[in-house]
Amino acid sequence: MNVQIEESWKEYLKDEFEKPYFAQLTEHVRREYMAGACYPPGRLIFNAFNLCPFDEVKVVIIGQDPYHEPGQAHGLSFSVCEGIPFPPSLQNIFKEIHDDLGTPIPQSGDLSRWAKQGVLLLNATLTVRAHQANSHATLGWQTFTDAAIKALATHRQHLVYMLWGGFARSKAYMIDKQNNLVLESVHPSPLSANRGGWFGQHQFSRANLYLLNKGQQPIEW
């Protein structure tokens, strides 16, 4: 199957595209988009991969599924399109970055600037039906995105994995903690963050220190 995805990712994931589950997934997604509003726009489903080639990945941030209201999702976990108000989780991410690094809260919630520096903003499920969180969670996307995580785990090292909340932390078994930095915390959503375990973790400075120690450029968060 000829999937429109960045060439280096296509090379590492080519076997997935030929498996029966992926053909079924593609058909399910096509039917969903024809039946009603789904997000992100079709051309942006693989945006996380397209903005962050395989060999340029430095940091992996795993989300669950795209935002499900109009105009928000554009294929990057936790990110919203330019001009869209920050969702609560993103507000808490920016607040922690401000507290950790002293940088001002940005005007835009579009995290493409992170992706272009090597932050893979990967949702486990890449599509969603409008107004229905997790509505595409059973279509087969997680088999595909787990394969992407495993490809990184197999062929790359000295990466930073940020696993926020129980769902993302369930992916930790795939990662070699001896040769990568795994930062686990509660989810930045208000329900979790306000109970403790999100604020004051200094994850962003810790990530940058690790990258510097491995001879890599830190991320301008």
Cβ-proximal residues to 115 (8 Å cutoff; 6+ apart), any chain: 47, 48, 51, 52, 76, 121
> What are the distances in angstroms from CA 209 to CA 30, 115, 117, 212, 216?
43, 19, 16, 5, 10
Of the candidates 65, 99, 110, 176, the residue annotated as catalytic is 65
Is residue 65 flagged as an active site residue?
yes
| Contact yes or no for 121/80 (Cβ under 8 A) | no
* Residue 57 bridge partners (DSSP): none
Angstrom CA distances, 173 to 5, 150, 168, 177, 200, stand at 26, 10, 11, 9, 25
Chain position carrying tokens 């994995």: 161
Inter-helix orientation angle 203-213/88-101, to 10°: 60
d(CA 13, CA 7): 10
Using alpha carbons, list the distances in angstroms from residue 163 to 94, 102, 205, 206: 16, 23, 15, 14
Answer positive or negative: Cα dihedral of 28, 31, 36, 37.
positive
Name the residues annotated as catalytic: 65
